[in-house]
Amino acid sequence: MSYCLNPTCPSPENLAHSQRCQSCGSKLLLSDRYQVIKPLGQGGFGATFLACDQSLPGEPSCVIKQLRPSTTAPQVLQMARELFEREAKTLGKIGNHPQVPRLLDYFEEDHQFYLIQEYISGATLQQEVKRKGNFSEAGIKQFLSEMLPVLQYIHDHKVIHRDIKPANLIRRTQDARMVLIDFGAVKNQVTQAITNQSEHTALTAYAIGTPGFAPPEQMAMRPVYASDIYALGVTCIYLLTTKSPKDLDYNPTTGEMLWEELVQISDHLKGVLRKMLEVSVRNRYQSAEEVLRGLEMEPYLESLAQGLLVKSDVNFKESARNHRGDSSILCNGSTSNPTSSGVAQVAAAIRARRAKAAEAAGLHTAKMHAGSQIAKQTTLGSTNSNGSQGQNSQVARKFDTQGLLSAYLKGRRDFAQHNLSMLNLQGADLSETNFHSAQLRKTNLQGANLHHSDFGRASLTRANLKDANLSKAYFNNADLEGVDLRGADLSYAYFSNANLRGANLCGANLMGAKISEEQLSLAKTNWLTVRPNGKRGLL
């Protein structure tokens, strides 16, 4: 099918190889190369369409965004045009990131403005939640660990997105990675005051963001980088509750969203989300780096420093040469990572601070031991994977096999800090469960379904996880020494700071997993092991 781009066309659908619209007579092949297939959506002043580029081999798919203001008033038309140009320039500057759509072309034709960008195949988070239901705590941590580096990337390029919400986040089909779309409401710098009141008025209808997701300072047309942090926090609440902000209650005095009674997550994650959702911008996290620290996900800062998420300069320039359009827009943005050294310094500072804290903790423990044993405490199962005694004053709670399975069937999903060592849970369905800081030493979980489960800081030494489903599981700081993971599905799992010494990964599927070569070098692998890049072979 060919679709007519004339906004006033009464019947825009045409046969696939038509040259002109049978209804209004408009030319159907845009810029003599783009065949529009179908509409994808329409916003305040733009409509988007799926198209194919007939000038390239294979006629690859692309997205066409057409300027389509709701009124022809000169002031609104000019403002819409400026916003559209701003989106094109922004994509040209930051679109060399694999989780941001690339700008392919940008031009004006017959007094209409068109932006051509990479087509992202997949479902939006809004569609995903409607189909699959709410996210678990592990799912939220994985979502944040994937989106916060993207947010830091665009903020480092002095861009505020201003419209982060589930409908603007697509899980790409080919690799299941989140992609941030729709940069039509971006702001390219932070200003302390509005200097042009007429601009303020004209912008309000189109660039204020989405009510409920946008924080108060953004609704007042004074967005800052922390405004995107707030919107990301609201998105997390939506993922946890499946409720839109308009369906939630608010404190009439403070304006705070009332969400905490609706979710079953750890106090730690609640604290992080609470700070992301602070109504007062001064009390909110100021950067994605701060949120990562709060989540204890500092290793993701190092991935930024290493340029893991940025495509090469050569590829970007080659792409620019292959597509006609405004070359100044395509090439204005630097394709290097000017902030990588700064992020590396932050990561180094974090490592130094943690080392100092560990040293101080060691000295403190030595002093305690050298003195008299004033009070003996039972600590069985309370030592975490780093060897610290964070739960000294509390005996780890114990479950037997039937008790745990019965609790899970009744809807319980939180077994954090529990002693589950040596249980026989072979073949059990325990998906989307919180095992944070739990003891699972020598536990038999062979063939168990542990999809989307949280094993952060848990001890799984010598556990049997052979053939288990651990896709998208979260192993931040977990102890996996000697664990049997033969044939396990570990696709898109997160292993930041996990100990894999002696772990058996023969035949395991690690496609898309967040795991370092250093960690893998400590484990056992064979030619059946699927590497993170999807290829089989020894690591």
Active-site residue (options: 53, 105, 163, 484): 163
Query: Is-contact 517 495, C-beta < 8 A?
Result: no
DSSP-assigned beta bridge partners for residue 118: 62
Token pair, residue 134, equals 């709410």
Query: Is-contact 289 312, C-beta < 8 A?
Result: no
SS3 state at 429: strand
Question: What is the rounded distance in angstroms from the CA atom of residue 512 to the CA atom of residue 494?
Answer: 9
Query: Is-contact 206 186, C-beta < 8 A?
Result: no
Give exposure, 117-145, as e/b (b: 16+ Cβ within 10 Å): bbbbebbbbbebbeeeebbbbbbbbbbbb
Burial of 252 (0-12, 13-18, 19+ CB in 10 A): exposed
Using CA atoms, how far residue 238 sits from 159, 179, 231, 436, 458, in Å, is: 24, 18, 11, 23, 28
Question: What is the rounded distance in angstroms from the CA atom of residue 203 to the CA atom of residue 73?
Answer: 14
Query: Is-contact 269 141, C-beta < 8 A?
Result: yes
Query: Is-contact 16 30, C-beta < 8 A?
Result: no
Question: What is the rounded distance in angstroms from the CA atom of residue 471 to the CA atom of residue 493?
Answer: 6
Residue 32 annotated as catalytic: no
Instruction: Please count the other Cβ atoms lying within 10 Å of the Cβ belonging to residue 9.
Output: 16
SS3 state at 82: helix
Between helices 74-94 and 197-207, what is the axis angle to 10°?
A: 70
Instruction: Please count the other Cβ atoms lying within 10 Å of the Cβ belonging to residue 74.
Output: 8
DSSP-assigned beta bridge partners for residue 249: 258
Burial of 389 (0-12, 13-18, 19+ CB in 10 A): middle
- So which residues are the catalytic ones? 163
